[in-house]
Structure 1
Amino acid sequence: MYKMLIVENDNFLKELLTEYFNDSEKYKVVASITDASLAPSICFELGVDVALLDICTDDGNYGGIIAGTKIKRDYPHIKVILMTGIPESNFIAEAHSGKIDSFLYKSDTITNLYNVVEATMAGENIWPEESNQFSRSDISLSNREKEVARLICCNCLTRMEISEQLGISPNSVKTITSRIFVKVGVDNARELMKFMLANDFFIPEE
């Protein structure tokens, strides 16, 4: 079983990732933290095999890149995977310079994230293509879709509750929700909430 370190700024996503990888029975999350500056010492002390690092963490701007670079310099046998919800091209260049093993966007599903970890542990290097970089501007929701998505993600309302609040039928809510799922590329409300959270996709009030 591989020992994994997770560094993630958001506690909800950190717990979600920890639970997912522990349930795989192939990885044991030996530490999950929000401060990337602690990652190199934890890797050494706990004998970590793979580190999954968020780029923007509690220790300051781009702490994941700095920590990942130190880990690869001092412990080159450890696999380091960077993840971010912010599509900035300089991140990839800096990650390459730091000898990082793989890089992905948090807009990917958790299953794809797991597959990237698996491929990296098998010796592959996974990097996003320029054409596949995520941008919030790629997702165009109508005002009604934004309204429904906000009620799902921010208010945690059920279909019936949304129907009553907006004065539309439950079937209309179902249709609108289905369109949102298709546009965002998720299968259910839980995945939608995770996606919005991971990508800082805050839906403004109209």
Structure 2
Amino acid sequence: MTRKIGLVDNDPFTLAALRSVLADMSSCTVAWAVRSALEALELCAGEATRPDVLVTDVSMPDMNGITLCRLIRSATPQVPILAITSYNLDVYAMQVAAAGAQGIVNKDDPMTITAAVAAVGSGAVWPYKSNGNGRSMAVRFRTAEQAYGSVEASPAAQAIATLSAKELAVVRLTCETLGTFAELASQLGCSESTVKTLAQRAYRKLGVSNKRELMALWNEGIMA
């Protein structure tokens, strides 16, 4: 059985390297590779695009990997998740496990990445070993099935997950640039009236009434 792998990392060089590493595995194929956690969330929700394993970076600008894990695992047990990071694993291991992922590995260790993908894809977990620093850490990872039902995403993250791709784009640009509707329309390549309509829909779904409330919810939702 060939497993479909989904990759998400905001660094294009990391995505290219991961594609190369996983291409040598006869048991899997890269179904898609994206630079946005929000896009990965949408792909994982679609029956036709849902991967057999998701490999996600922990630190991304539009939504961190831990929140992404929580949103996916609170919704389904069908997507095993392997987290990757270039930082010390001890910093994130416990948070990633609590968010419902099945393991965490360093980006710079291709052999470990392929072994971990194979393990997670087969329904197992990738055992965690402390990175050292003079201390030991006992972090228990659970399978996707075991974690499902016990992981909850924050209300803010759940609200953001209800937005359509176009609504998300408007909200993200609003929070990141504080631009006017005309400026957002120029960046998105659509009319100002379209941006206004999308913004109104997003505000209603998120239960906010102004940019200050929107930014507060956005920051909570992508980092929670």
Same fold at TM > 0.5 = yes
Q: 1:55, 1:83 within 8 Å by CA — same for their partners in 2?
A: yes
Deviation at 1:76, TM superposition (A): 1.0
Deviation at 1:112, TM superposition (A): 1.6
Deviation at 1:26, TM superposition (A): 2.1
Q: 2:6, 2:53 within 8 Å by CA — same for their partners in 1?
A: yes
Q: Is the deviation greater in 86-95 or in 110-119?
A: 86-95
Deviation at 1:89, TM superposition (A): 3.5
For 1:56-86, what per-residue CA distance to the aligned partner results, in whole angstroms no more than 9, with x for missing partners?
12315xx111111211111212110001111
Unpaired runs of 5+ residues, structure 2, are 134-224
TM-score, structure 1 normalization: 0.57
In structure 2, the partner of 1:66 is 67
In structure 1, the partner of 2:201 is none
For 1:45-64, what per-residue CA distance to the aligned partner results, in whole angstroms no more than 9, with x for missing partners?
2021100001012315xx11
Distance in 2, matches of 1:17 and 1:106, equals 9
1:7 aligns with 2:17: no
Instruction: Between the two structures, name the one with larger relative contact order (CA 8 Å, sep ≥ 6).
Output: 2
Deviation at 1:93, TM superposition (A): 1.8
Q: 1:6, 1:51 within 8 Å by CA — same for their partners in 2?
A: yes
In structure 2, the partner of 1:123 is 123
Deviation at 1:131, TM superposition (A): 4.0
1:101 aligns with 2:95: no
* Aligned with residue 57 of structure 1, among 40, 49, 60: 60
Which secondary structure state, in structure 1, belongs to the residue aligned with residue 118 of structure 2? helix
Distance in 2, matches of 1:88 and 1:131, equals 6
Unpaired runs of 5+ residues, structure 1, are 134-206
In structure 1, the partner of 2:170 is none
Aligned length: 130
Deviation at 1:132, TM superposition (A): 4.4
Deviation at 1:88, TM superposition (A): 5.9
CA RMSD of aligned residues (A): 1.9
The amino acid that maps onto 1:56 is S
Q: 1:21, 1:28 within 8 Å by CA — same for their partners in 2?
A: yes
For 1:105-128, what per-residue CA distance to the aligned partner results, in whole angstroms no more than 9, with x for missing partners?
2242x1221001111122321143
